[in-house]
Amino acid sequence: MAAPLPEKFDDLPDKRRYWPGAPGSEEEGLGMLRLLTPEVVADAARTQIQTGERVCLNWDIENLTPPGFGRKPFEHNIKWVAEGIALDDEYHFNPQQSSQWDGFRHHNAPAPTPTDPARRLFHGGTTATEIKDTNSPRIGIGFWAKKGIAGRGVLIDYVSYAKKRGIPLNALTRQMITLDEVKEIAAECNITFQRGDIFFLRVGLPDTWAGMSAEQRMEYSQQPMPNHAGIEQSERVVRFMWDNHFAAVASDAVSFEVFPALNEEFDLHHWLLAGWGIPIGEMFDLDVLAETCQRLGRWSFFVSSSPLNCARGVSSPPNCMAIF
């Protein structure tokens, strides 16, 4: 039986790492998705599915073209598999170009020792050598694919908050959404966070990207270190994330948190992915979700996501929908 989850951030013996699962185990591979027990999912379904309205949260897979960080552009080819009778299609894409879950194999964190000050480890203490071993599925997306990701989602709509207050917003700058703003939005929307929630933050990348010319998009893609808006990095934020026991977090921004980090000590990819095993979703399409929440006057909903069933996967399209 798994050890009980420390309730508070201050209860963690090692604040930066919570690795209760045995190496290679399902518990390790699930990380905080293990909070999505049948009881938690059933309660979310009972309380959140009321009208039956559905909103898909997958951004157009070709939208972020050209992609940044030197990633392979999306390719889609349609070919005859039986000439004149049946067609197939072929997809060549990097999941990081569009809506995606960052898996635990995506990002490591510093784990220095006296003899190896440059050492870095992935979740659970997994090494890059293990990840690149074609016989090792340790902490791969395949663990998530067995049951999928389902539970209660909550939306913090910073885009609407900023518009009401006349705050200019550009998702491709190092604009920071503060924890105080997140809490203010939650209070205004009567959101009470629950254990196992999937936390969504709307930052406005679709509007920013839609307003850019082809030349500006090319300029963005060619930057060696592009700027991205997102939530602040601070001890207050990591405390907030732990104390609320989120199963996963996601946003419509490129990197969820401000990038490059304004406070590298609290780089959330280090803490959430490598440290605690909390999946990070990026570039989700949250515009229609926000419109639906506003119309219905509720900012919580049922979430269903089916990551690719690839045992050694590093990341995956979310194949995600919200159900009201």
pLDDT digits (tens, 9 = 90+) for 87-125: 999 988 888 888 999 999 999 999 999 999 999 999 999
The residues spanned by each domain of the chain are 19-67+93-323
pTM: 0.95
Task: Determine the pLDDT at residue 231.
Answer: 98
Residues 96/101/106/110 CA torsion (nearest 10 deg)? 120
Task: Determine the pLDDT at residue 2.
Answer: 59
Q: The domain at 19-67+93-323 falls in which architecture?
A: 3-Layer(bba) Sandwich (3.50)
Q: What is the residue whose two structure tokens read 């599925």?
A: 137
Task: Determine the pLDDT at residue 97.
Answer: 83
Alpha-helical regions (H) of the chain: 26-30, 38-48, 128-132, 142-145, 158-165, 179-188, 205-210, 214-221, 235-244, 268, 287-296
Q: What is the residue whose two structure tokens read 């969820």?
A: 256
Q: Which residues of the chain fall short of a pLDDT of 70?
A: 1-3
